[in-house]
Chains A and B, each alone.
Chain A
Amino acid sequence: MSRLSVALRKKLAGFTLDVAWTAGDGVAVLFGPSGAGKTLTLQCLAGLLRPDAGRIVVDDRVFFDGATGVDLPPQARRIGYVFQGYALFTHLTVAANVAFGLRSRPRAERLRRSAEVIERLGLGGLEARYPSELSGGQRQRVALGRALAIDPALLLLDEPLSALDAPLRRALRDELREILAAWGTAAVVVTHDFTEAYRLADRIVVYDGGRVIQTAPRAELLWQPASEAVAGIMGLRNVLHGAVVKATPERIQLRWRGQTLEAVNSPTRSYLPPPDSPLAFFIRPEYVRLIRKDRGAPDPAHHMNLMSGRIVGEADFGTVWSLRLRLDAPGAPAQGDFDLEVEVPHLVYEILEIERDRHWQFSIHRGSIHVLPA
């Protein structure tokens, strides 16, 4: 059951936004690179920008319909908008900011509601402060409070964490998730950071160049990006190119760097390309298993997609080591001077004495090779 249905067309100088997606309860994240049209979409939702064509419906209320000429002004939409820089009224106190959208209500009701919002967001004691006297996290909560106070039909948040420093970002990402869950307001969040998108979203809409290239529940997106373009925007590593050997609804066999690899076909969208067609796939660096040399010869039944290679580069990321492996197979490496990026925890790195031992056999479970439909 979709609460929000969006179809928009808007032509601007050198850019065309042409998107359609729906979302239900909970949080929908518009995810994609800067300049993909995410903020433009929010402005159209809020009525701050008029689309050329399309239809926007929130909870059965038609906000915009290019065909019938319906176009509710922002004042009539009851949408809470948290702007990227928060857009707090710097000449008003915290209390006046939060109560700003309540002007049409009776005074007693206005005071009660703004006190309630201030209390729930932990802003008690800051009522008389001005925005310039608040920390970044407090400002974010005031912006949220101002938007939530009006009981919005929909809450829009534009890059809500981008104005904050890295340590605070992490803490506030979790806090924001809790606030959104606690208030239960349907929300649309814009971000270009996949971790942020994944953390906040129930559903993710992937934007690229003014278009939507995938819409999926967050777990599905994580494991089944619909294309190489989506994988690229998500920042996935080890996006590789091979050729199909044989495809069945369950399995896909593919040829890559002289090896024949076996992958599980997508469980939701079986993909059956003919033999020899090019195929993109990706392997998560943390799902490559190095084979211990002290446990005897590898068992082919247990270790699928067995390969061997040499470590040609490594980098320490504090909790994990990232290793660059080059296959023993002849031919040019797939990614510059290496074939695969492999991630191992520090503990594993020490136990296996990887610092000393640079040549390894490794295996990849077929479920960890993800095909990317063309």
Chain B
Amino acid sequence: MTPEALDALVLSVRVAVVATLLNATLGIPLAYLLARRAFRGRAIVDLAVTLPLVLPPTVTGYYLIVLLGRRGWLGQPLYAATGWSVAFTWYAAVIAATVMALPLLVRTARAAIESVDRELEKAAYTLGRSEWRTALEVTLPLARNGIVAGLVLAFARALGEFGATLMLAGNIPGKTTTVPLAIYTAVQTGEMGEALVLVLALTALSCAVLVLAGRLGARAA
């Protein structure tokens, strides 16, 4: 394996792990709110979270540029204040992967939370638990299998993200070139051997994640 390929592999894993952690912190509360609370703007939040699942990744990537690019709605004030832009950094790859993976976690976790019998939550309320403690002690533990499955899907999606990452983070070797981008580049430049190594590495990694997820699911059941 060339140093470039190894860089891509390390970066991909790092991006996917960070994106999955972000997914867990954002996605699990979001899934709970969507499953259990009626709040203003719920339909819009639901739509915004789900859209990356149905839009072409390049379209999602375009919106991310509009939002976060150097001249974007958020990106411009940030650039004006700090002289720094998130675009074309590895953070951009993390953001792209997070946004693309979020609907997978939220939808899976939400379905699992919705399938928890509400009587159990009511029982917890009568036994003195606040809604917040009930979510932590009853609802989320009972939805655990679905949440784990959602996190696995999110990790896999983050690991394989291509389109949105290319748009927001670019394809800068050693900096933003993740494995999918590196494979694309290798094929474009005719380095089929390099491509094959990365393809096999990514396949092995995905298989390992699935096996691990199966183990976790079995233990939780």
Distance A91 CA – B136 CA, assembled complex (angstroms): 13
Collect the chain A residues with CB atoms within 8 Å of residue B141's CB: 91
Per-residue CB contact flags for chain A residues 69-109 toward chain B (1 = under 8 Å, else 0) read: 00001110101110111010111000000001101100000
CB-based contact A89/B130 at 8 Å: no
Collect the chain B residues with CB atoms within 8 Å of residue A147's CB: 126
Contact of A48 among B125, B129, B130 (CB under 8 A): B125
Collect the chain A residues with CB atoms within 8 Å of residue B144's CB: 91
CB-based contact B138/A89 at 8 Å: yes
CB-based contact A85/B119 at 8 Å: yes
Per-residue CB contact flags for chain B residues 122-152 toward chain A (1 = under 8 Å, else 0) read: 1111111110000000100110100000000
Collect the chain B residues with CB atoms within 8 Å of residue A91's CB: 141-142, 144
Distance A48 CA – B126 CA, assembled complex (angstroms): 8
| Chain B proximity of A182: nearest CB distance (Å) | 22
Contact of B142 among A47, A85, A90 (CB under 8 A): A90
| Chain B proximity of A39: nearest CB distance (Å) | 11
Interface of B, helix, strand, loop or mixed by DSSP: helix
| Chain A proximity of B64: nearest CB distance (Å) | 38
Collect the chain A residues with CB atoms within 8 Å of residue B142's CB: 89-91
> Assuming A87-B117, A87-B119, is B125 touching A74 (CB within 8 A)?
yes
CB-based contact B119/A75 at 8 Å: no
| Chain A proximity of B191: nearest CB distance (Å) | 51
CB-based contact A101/B120 at 8 Å: no
Contact of B127 among A43, A47, A101 (CB under 8 A): A101
Distance A79 CA – B128 CA, assembled complex (angstroms): 10
Interface size class of A (residues with CB under 8 A): 20 to 34
CB-based contact B120/A87 at 8 Å: yes
> Assuming A89-B138, A90-B142, is B127 touching A100 (CB within 8 A)?
yes
Collect the chain B residues with CB atoms within 8 Å of residue A89's CB: 120, 123-124, 138, 142
CB-based contact B123/A83 at 8 Å: yes
| Chain A proximity of B1: nearest CB distance (Å) | 44
A89, A104, A147, A150 — which one has the most chain B CB atoms within 10 A of its CB?
Answer: A89
Contact of A103 among B119, B128, B138 (CB under 8 A): B128
| Chain A proximity of B107: nearest CB distance (Å) | 23
Collect the chain A residues with CB atoms within 8 Å of residue B127's CB: 100-101, 146, 150
Question: A46 within 8 Å of B by Cβ?
Answer: yes
Collect the chain B residues with CB atoms within 8 Å of residue A48's CB: 122, 125-126
| Chain B proximity of A84: nearest CB distance (Å) | 8
Interface of A, helix, strand, loop or mixed by DSSP: loop
- How many of B's residues come within 8 Å of A, CB to CB? 16
Collect the chain B residues with CB atoms within 8 Å of residue A47's CB: 125-126
Collect the chain B residues with CB atoms within 8 Å of residue A83's CB: 119, 122-123
B120, B125, B126, B144 — which one has the most chain A CB atoms within 10 A of its CB?
Answer: B126
CB-based contact B125/A75 at 8 Å: yes
Name the interface residues of B105-124: CB closer than 8 Å to any CB of A. 117, 119-120, 122-124
Distance A83 CA – B123 CA, assembled complex (angstroms): 8
Distance A100 CA – B142 CA, assembled complex (angstroms): 15
Contact of A81 among B117, B126, B138 (CB under 8 A): B126
Closest to B138 in A: A89
Distance A81 CA – B128 CA, assembled complex (angstroms): 12
Contact of B123 among A43, A81, A104 (CB under 8 A): A81
> Assuming A90-B142, A91-B141, is B123 touching A75 (CB within 8 A)?
no
Distance A85 CA – B122 CA, assembled complex (angstroms): 13
Collect the chain B residues with CB atoms within 8 Å of residue A104's CB: 128
Closest to B142 in A: A91
Collect the chain B residues with CB atoms within 8 Å of residue A43's CB: 122
Collect the chain A residues with CB atoms within 8 Å of residue B125's CB: 47-48, 73-75
| Chain B proximity of A281: nearest CB distance (Å) | 43
Closest to A100 in B: B127
CB-based contact A77/B126 at 8 Å: yes
Collect the chain A residues with CB atoms within 8 Å of residue B130's CB: 75
B120, B123, B128, B129 — which one has the most chain A CB atoms within 10 A of its CB?
Answer: B123
Distance A104 CA – B128 CA, assembled complex (angstroms): 9
Collect the chain B residues with CB atoms within 8 Å of residue A79's CB: 126
Collect the chain B residues with CB atoms within 8 Å of residue A74's CB: 122, 125-126
Distance A80 CA – B123 CA, assembled complex (angstroms): 9
Collect the chain A residues with CB atoms within 8 Å of residue B128's CB: 75, 101, 103-104, 150
CB-based contact A87/B129 at 8 Å: no
Closest to A82 in B: B123
Name the interface residues of A281-336: CB closer than 8 Å to any CB of B. none
Closest to A48 in B: B122
Collect the chain A residues with CB atoms within 8 Å of residue B120's CB: 87, 89
Closest to B123 in A: A87
Closest to B128 in A: A75
Collect the chain A residues with CB atoms within 8 Å of residue B124's CB: 89, 100
| Chain B proximity of A157: nearest CB distance (Å) | 12
Distance A104 CA – B130 CA, assembled complex (angstroms): 12
9 contacts between A and B (CB under 8 A): A48-B125, A75-B130, A83-B123, A85-B119, A87-B119, A87-B120, A91-B141, A150-B127, A150-B128
Residues of A within 8 A of B (CB): 43, 46-48, 73-75, 77, 79-81, 83-85, 87, 89-91, 100-101, 103-104, 146-147, 150
Residues of B within 8 A of A (CB): 117, 119-120, 122-130, 138, 141-142, 144
Report the 9 A-B pairs with minimum CB-CB distance, sorted nearest first.
A101-B127, A87-B119, A74-B125, A87-B123, A81-B126, A83-B119, A91-B141, A74-B126, A75-B128
